[in-house]
Structure 1
Amino acid sequence: MSGPTSIRDEAQRGQGGVPRVLGPKVKAGISLLIVAHFAAMLLMVGTTEGGRYTAPPLLQKAAEPVMPYVRFLGVNSGYRFFAPDPGPASLIWARVERAQGGAVWVEYPSRERQTWTLAYQRELYPAMLLGAQVAPGDMVMAPGRPRVSEVGLTYAMAFARRLARLHGTAANPVTRVELYSVSHAIRMPQQVRSGWDAEDLRLYFPASVGTYSAEGVPLGAAASIGHDRRGILELAERMLRDVGASGAPLQQQSPDMPGTLRRLLREYPELTAAGDGRPLQERIGSAVMSRDVNP
């Protein structure tokens, strides 16, 4: 038989007589999979707690069956870092020691190093992943239990190996890496009125994630990881002492240096000098507070 009908039938069947058009059952199955995928994402939005939002227990129970699926695809974000209730940003600060002496401080992610948005996003994810695996500073932990999860410890070991490759050479290899997960808080209205800028040192809250060898092996007991809660002034003092020990001008310092420290040194270069007899932490605090204004 010839004619339009037979030509259309042949086009639909294709080679070997197999129909090219999907049947209604296949279409229905694909549609159900698409609906299930977006339903799983909506469950993640509804069950991710943050800020003032507490997830309903019934919704959390409903999300349990799809957790392996969304974790495998990496779509388990609750997107609660957007307005109107955004949370703090996560950073990684690291102190990298080399065999021939000297230490450099690096920050991930860094706008100084990565000006392209995509490259910056790639550096942002390790900081977010590691920050999510570190217990908050006000959380009470059982004796002998680390403040970093096993997943977080795996992240930290891998990141230490990466830093050792990036910042070491054959002639001067990296011997030791200290990692800190840093929470960068958002300014409150009163802080804005007082003159705080977005990189004010008082908005950073570091938490130690351990010390590692160049091979990523933890240097110390696993149970002690995360319990070293250094204050930001103490950490800033260590950074400034390392900068002063290098003897290099600020312009020649590593572009990976934490942005808040770089800005502090630009405004107060005298912090690396001998000083006026006061402790360095006190001088740092005075320099930071000198920006404050009375609203």
Structure 2
Amino acid sequence: MNLLQKPTYWVATAITLALLALGLNSLFPDLVTLRVNLLVFGFILALAAFSIACSQRFHDETSNGTLSLTTFGLSLALLIITNSMDPSWDSLILAGSVFTAVSLFLGIFVLLPLLAKKTTAICFVLFHFASIITAVTSIEPPNAPASWLATNLWAYYFRHYLTFAYLNNAYHFYSPEPGPPVLLWSKIQYEDGTFRWFKIPNRTESPIQMHYQRMLSVTESTNVASSQTPDNWEEKLQRRNLAGLANQPQITPLNRSMSQSYMFKEPADYSKRMLASYALYLTKKFAHPADKPSINIDNIKIYRVTHSIITPTDMSRGENALDPTLYYPYFMGSFDKNGNLIDPNDAFLYFLLPITRNANPNEPSVLNHSLDIHAGDVKIVPAKEGGN
């Protein structure tokens, strides 16, 4: 076996490059490009060493000890690489930490007897699927309480694993029945008075159905509700209704008989950060109007829209599943070109802007579109079909 076929040689070289990058990070932190190149080449060499060792072990050309030693070398290289990164590279640091832990586990796993390997693998599979089952059964079914055992297992044992692996969102969303999807509609206003709307997800712009479904999971990140009760609720509601009545044309006031959670949906801090990040993304994607590179963004109004699912009874009567009155928009705020919320005290902030229809037996119904009125887009429009 020549030198290039020895995985320990490759992994030793990877560790050396990682140590050089670690030294550069400590002594010459400004040499970022050189450090990144060393980290990338070190990572590639470490993976190559692991691949060679696995291939040789598969063909019985080496021992479990060599494979384990190479795997431990891989974990050491990954540990050094992770510590050579800037603190701002948080996502890469997290990924490096996970890969380090996994490679360390594999190094130990290789040395185990066959029975212990099988037992460990079976236990992990059982743990994985038990986690998924608790994610499904910890949600209350219609007209019945959730399982006490599943709820406690999920809360105290499985939740952290599921959150890390991002396995709980879809199982919660579709258990026991799918909830209403969340959409994001944004009005991008430019300094010259022109504007454009950008809506996600959008069926017409999704090349396949899977893309549309994945975009729904993106908007779901803005749908984490705050657990705190708003201060001075009556005052907030009064300000919102008075502002709606003062607007021309008027924005439909909210009836006090409605539940507070229905009228007002303040997001949690996490979702607020996601909204600010999304606003900043829009400022980069649509920085200028088409063919007007000198015109900048003035503000961006973002609305989180809940699309209520049509009932079987309404569908049997031929009702449109995309009827505008099935959409419930909530104003998430106006953001500047830096992604900052402009007015945290806006009277409409986090309140419902209802879309209703005034029925007239002798004439076509008229749609009162509070969202369009608030956005300054359309005042009062005839009823029409469509939506996302």
> How high is the sequence identity, in percent, across the aligned residues?
20
Counterparts of residues 232-243 of structure 1 (less than 5 Å): 232=355, 233-238=369-374, 242=377
Distance 1:188 1:16, change over 3 A: closer
CA contact (8 A) 2:183 2:219 kept: yes
Aligned residues of 1:148 and 1:226 also touching (Cα < 8 A): no
Q: Report 1:156-175 matches (<5 A).
A: 156-169=275-288, 170-175=293-298
What does residue 152 of structure 1 align with?
Answer: 271
1:121 Cα offset (Å): 3.5
What's the secondary structure of 2:306's corresponding residue?
A: strand
Separation of aligned partners in 2, 1:25 and 1:83: 36
Deviation at 1:95, TM superposition (A): 1.3
Matched to 1:143, the amino acid is D
Distance (Å, rounded) in 2 between the aligned partners of 1:53 and 1:179:
36
Q: Is the 8 A contact 1:99 1:174 kept in 2?
A: yes
Kept after mapping to 2: 8 A contact 1:46/1:78: no
| CA displacement 1:78-133 (0-9 Å, x = unmatched) | 536559833212111111111222222221000111222343234222212212x1
The aligned residue for residue 353 of structure 2 is: 230
User: 8 Å contact 1:104–1:242 — kept in the other structure?
Assistant: no
Shift of 1:28: 1.0
The Cα of 1:223 is off from its aligned counterpart by 9.8
CA distance in 1, matches of 2:173, 2:326: 17
Which of 115, 119, 129 is matched with 1:24 structurally?
115
Higher relative contact order (CA 8 A, sep 6+): 1
Other-structure match for 2:243: none
* Contact 2:139/2:175 (<8 A) preserved: no
* Counterparts of 2:232 and 2:61, CA distance in 1: 67
Query: Which amino acid letter does the alignment assign opposite residue 208 of structure 1?
Result: F
Residues 208-259 of structure 1 show CA distances to partners (whole Å, capped at 9, x for unaligned) of: 22221222211122897853322222113456x537xxxxxxxxxxxxxxxx
Distance change (3 Å), C-alpha of 1:13 and 1:83: closer
Is 1:50–1:80's contact at 8 Å kept on the other side of the alignment?
A: no
The question of whether the paired residues in 2 share the 8 Å contact of 1:148 and 1:225 is answered with no
Take 1:63 and 1:129, find their aligned partners in 2: how far apart are those partners?
20
Work out the CA distance in 2 between the residues paired with 1:48 and 1:40: 13
- Residues of 2 paired with 1:238 and 1:223: CA distance? 12
How far, CA to CA, are the matches of 2:225 and 2:183 in structure 1?
12
| Structure 2 unmatched ranges of 5 or more | 1-56, 68-109, 234-264, 356-368
Q: How does 1:145-294 map to 2 (within 5 A)?
A: 147-169=266-288, 170-221=293-344, 226-232=349-355, 233-238=369-374, 242=377, 280-281=379-380, 283-284=381-382, 287-288=383-384
* Aligned residues between the structures: 236
Please name the residue that 2:150 is paired with: 59
**How far 1:185 moved relative to its partner?**
1.1
Q: CA–CA distance in 1 between the matches of 2:325 and 2:64?
A: 72
Counterpart of 2:62 in structure 1: which amino acid? Answer: Q
Deviation at residue 54 of structure 1 after TM alignment: 4.0
Q: Deviations over 1:12-66 (max 9, x none)?
A: 8642474998621122112211211111111111113465564234322211222
Q: Is the 8 A contact 2:132 2:171 kept in 1?
A: no
Tell me, in whole angstroms, the C-alpha distance in 1 between the residues paired with 2:143 and 2:354. 26
Query: After alignment, is 140-149 or 73-82 more displaced?
Result: 140-149
Residue matched to 1:34: 125
Q: Aligned partners of 1:288 and 1:16: how far apart in 2?
A: 72
Which position in structure 1 is the counterpart of 2:184?
92
Q: Aligned partner of 1:172: which letter?
A: I
Partner of 1:15: 62
Change (3 A) 1:17 1:177: closer
Paired letter, 2:332: V
List alignment gaps of at least 5 residues for structure 1: 1-9, 244-279, 290-295
Q: Structure 1's 89 and 54: CA in aligned 2 closer, same or farther, altered over 3 A?
A: farther
TM-score, structure 1 length as denominator?
A: 0.68
Tell me, in whole angstroms, the C-alpha distance in 1 between the residues paired with 2:191 and 2:166. Answer: 38
Using a 3 Å threshold, how does the CA distance of structure 1 residues 83 and 158 change in structure 2: closer, same or farther? Answer: closer
| Equivalent AA in structure 1 for residue 159 of structure 2 | M
Q: TM-score scaled to structure 2, two decimals?
A: 0.53
Which of the pair is proportionally richer in helix? 2
Q: In the alignment, which of 114, 130, 135 is matched to residue 44 of structure 1?
A: 135
Judged with a 3 Å threshold, the aligned counterparts in structure 2 of structure 1 residues 163 and 236 are, in CA distance, closer, same or farther, namely same
